[in-house]
Amino acid sequence: MLAEKYFPKGSSRYQSLGKLFKKLDGFGALKPGRWFSIWTMVLAGANVTAHIDDRWFYWQWSSFSYLLIVIMIFALWWDRFMIRFPVFPQSVTNVKTGIFTLIVGFILFTLGTIPGGFDYLVFVYGLPYLIYFLVGHMTWSIPINKENKSVPSKGEMAPMLGSIIGLTLLASVAGFLHDDPMIATIAAVYSPFPIVALTFPAAIRHIQRARMHVIFIPAMFMAVRFPWFLFMIVPLFWLLRHYHYFVHGEVKPCFKVDLPHEAKD
């Protein structure tokens, strides 16, 4: 990030901008990092309704809808409201929490289908998207120790990673059978990340990559059909990186990983 080069931590320039970005603490309290996955899942519903109507629907600026924007904003409020209730866990640790995660994904997905109207095929075609949503939560459920920058042992992670791999491949195959190139390709492109994490020695960088790309890949693919989505996620990405850097001294969200000589694996 250029800010690290031109505004190094500890410099007067860094401190000055830090005071400016500190005013965004109220914004940071809204947990805007969650917005990427929420918006992507809502847009997945709109994507499926568009796919059923036109298989060759790509890069359509006409897909912009004020109603869809309102729904995406409502989804943020709904998520903010629901995370206060422990019945909706933020991580997947067992079958029960997995079911609740699927319910959350189903609601977000259904919200995205509203502008396109109801069609029972939406839920059939939407199943692999729900599976992938579960995969995302399972991936983020693998803990990373921030203090010593380590992850659980291979034996501890193996059951979760094995389940993630199986569900990812299932989502890809289901998308292929539905002739849906979006979810079929999203899941296929993501699959190497958990496979590497499972087959290679346990390392924080493998889990970091899996976490980053389980969100980044579907967001970018959604933008292929809804190009205006880039005007929502790119500014948010840029703002969050600079907010975390100037306020907390961290660069996130970020694609940088901890290398072996920088962290304890």
pLDDT for 157 equals 94
Residue 138's nearest CA partner among 95, 196, 83 is 95
User: CB neighbours of 88 closer than 8 A, spacing ≥ 6?
Assistant: 82, 100, 104
pLDDT for 118 equals 73
pLDDT for 81 equals 78
In this predicted model, which residue has the larger pLDDT, 131 or 264?
131
Summarised one tens digit per residue, pLDDT across range 210-225 is 999 999 999 999 999 9
Residue 189 clears pLDDT 70, i.e. is over it? yes
Residue 63's nearest CA partner among 50, 78, 76 is 50
User: CB neighbours of 176 closer than 8 A, spacing ≥ 6?
Assistant: 184
pLDDT for 264 equals 44
Residue 244 clears pLDDT 50, i.e. is over it? yes
Judge whether 25 and 247 are in contact, CB under 8 Å. Answer: yes
In this predicted model, which residue has the larger pLDDT, 253 or 246?
246
Residue 92's nearest CA partner among 161, 155, 139, 131 is 139
Partners of residue 145 on adjacent β-strands: 150
Residue 174 clears pLDDT 60, i.e. is over it? yes
pLDDT for 263 equals 46
In this predicted model, which residue has the larger pLDDT, 40 or 250?
40
Least confident of 39-43, 112-116, 188-192: 112-116
Least confident of 30-44, 80-94, 151-165, 204-218: 80-94
pLDDT for 1 equals 67
pLDDT for 181 equals 93
pLDDT for 94 equals 80
Summarised one tens digit per residue, pLDDT across range 112-134 is 999 987 788 888 999 999 999 99
pLDDT for 227 equals 95
Percentage with pLDDT > 70 across the chain: 94
Mean local confidence (pLDDT), 124-148: 92
Judge whether 97 and 89 are in contact, CB under 8 Å. Answer: yes
pLDDT for 98 equals 85
Using alpha carbons only, give the angle 11, 14, 15 rounded to the nearest 5 degrees.
90
pLDDT for 90 equals 67
Please report, as a single letter, which amino acid is at residue 223. A
Q: How confident is the model at residue 47 (pLDDT cuts 50, 70, 90)?
A: very high
Summarised one tens digit per residue, pLDDT across range 55-70 is 888 898 989 999 999 9
